[in-house]
Each structure stands twice: as structure tokens, then as C-alpha cells.
């Protein structure tokens, strides 16, 4: 009898900032699997995306994987970190 081996993706990183940029991780969103086909979209450990696109603290909202990835893609260009937008971070990268 052969034992089946499963490979299960647990999270996806969604970002507009290339990962070789110094501050890339701060701008990254994470679509994270919470079991039973349910996913969240997080910015950091404590901010969770709601179905209407707002961020709330410490209260996860669960989506199916496709919805979580779609919402993360829609939100990624609008992430700000310490008042700095994705567009500003990308412009600074081009100047370097």
C-alpha cells in the first residue's frame, strides 16, 4: 500500500514591491489558510481585511481562496506604511 503525500499551500504573499527592496516585507499582504478551505487576508499579524475592503484589528474575516486572493490583489496597490504609499516606495526604488 502506498501512502498518499499531500502538499497544501498555507499562504500566499501579495505585494506590489519587489522582494529585493529593503522595505518590501512591510508592504506585503498575506492570504493565509485557516483550515477547511477558509482564508484570511492580513497586513502584518493583527490587521485583517474585511469583505468591503477595510482593515480591522484582531478580528479575522474568512473567505474562500479565490476571493481572498482577489481581495489581496485589489488591496495591494493601496497599502501604506508609516504614511508612505506603494507609489512612493516604487518611485524611490526607481531613483536608486
* Residue 84 β-bridge partners: 81
- Is the model's pLDDT at 84 over the cut of 90? yes
Of residues 61, 35, 62, 59, the one with CA closest to residue 46: 59
What does the mean pLDDT of the chain come to? 94
Alpha-carbon gap, residue 78 to 57, rounded angstroms: 17
Note the pLDDT of residue 32: 97
Note the pLDDT of residue 80: 95
Which residue matches cell numbers 484589528?
57
Specify whether the CB–CB gap between 6 and 12 falls below 8 A: no
Which residue would you say has higher pLDDT here, 42 or 96?
Answer: 42
Q: 58-77: per-residue pLDDT in tens?
A: 999 999 999 999 999 999 99
Note the pLDDT of residue 13: 97
Note the pLDDT of residue 78: 97
Torsion sign, CA atoms 64, 38, 85, 19 = negative
Which residue would you say has higher pLDDT here, 19 or 30?
Answer: 30
**Which H or E run includes 67?**
helix 65-75
Q: 22-45: per-residue pLDDT in tens?
A: 889 999 999 999 999 999 999 999
Domain borders along the chain are 11-95
Q: The C-alpha cell of 5 is what?
A: 503525500
* Residue 81 β-bridge partners: 84
Mean pLDDT of 3-7: 94
Amino acid at each position: 500500500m502506498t501512502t498518499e503525500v499531500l502538499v497544501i499551500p498555507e499562504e500566499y504573499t501579495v505585494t506590489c514591491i519587489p522582494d529585493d527592496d529593503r522595505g518590501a516585507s512591510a508592504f506585503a499582504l498575506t492570504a493565509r489558510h485557516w483550515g477547511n478551505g477558509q482564508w484570511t487576508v492580513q497586513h502584518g499579524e493583527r490587521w485583517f481585511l474585511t469583505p468591503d475592503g477595510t482593515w480591522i484589528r484582531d478580528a479575522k474575516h474568512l473567505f474562500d481562496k479565490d476571493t481572498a486572493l482577489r481581495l489581496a490583489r485589489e488591496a495591494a496597490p493601496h497599502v501604506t506604511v508609516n504614511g508612505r504609499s506603494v507609489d512612493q516606495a516604487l518611485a524611490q526604488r526607481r531613483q536608486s
